[in-house]
Amino acid sequence: MAKRKTPKVKDLVEKKITEDQLKEIQQTVSMANQLKLEIGNLEATKHRYMHELDAVNNKMSELNSQLEEEYGKVDVNINTGAITYPEDEQANS
């Protein structure tokens, strides 16, 4: 027996979801896309801030080196500028 080459008429009828279901799916996909875009923006901002933080840390290392060169190994109170020497360093001075 030969197989049918043309589909049955009922197979040609296009099946669709309801308009409400379609709208809900579209809104959900749109919300997911918005959130992904926002996450991308946050990651780009984070990346920029990480580079800025690295630059600040490098500057702090330079300042520490300058202070150590001028005053030796010291602790500096960042509120008052007061210098304190570690106990073992002060005993050697």
Q: Note the pLDDT tens digit of each residue in 75-92.
A: 999 999 999 998 865 545
Spatial CB neighbours of 76, under 8 Å, sequence gap ≥ 6: 67, 82, 83, 84
Q: Identify whether 64 is part of a domain.
A: yes
Q: Which domain holds residue 84?
A: 22-92
> What span, in angstroms and rounded, lies between the C-alpha atoms of 82 and 92?
20
Q: Note the pLDDT tens digit of each residue in 22-73.
A: 999 999 999 999 999 999 999 999 999 999 999 999 999 999 999 999 999 9
Specify the number of domains making up the chain. 1
pLDDT band at 13 (very low <50, low <70, confident <90, very high): confident
Alpha helices for the chain (secondary structure H): 19-71, 87-92
Q: Identify whether 32 is part of a domain.
A: yes
Cα dihedral 8/10/14/18 (nearest 10): -160
Q: Identify whether 14 is part of a domain.
A: no
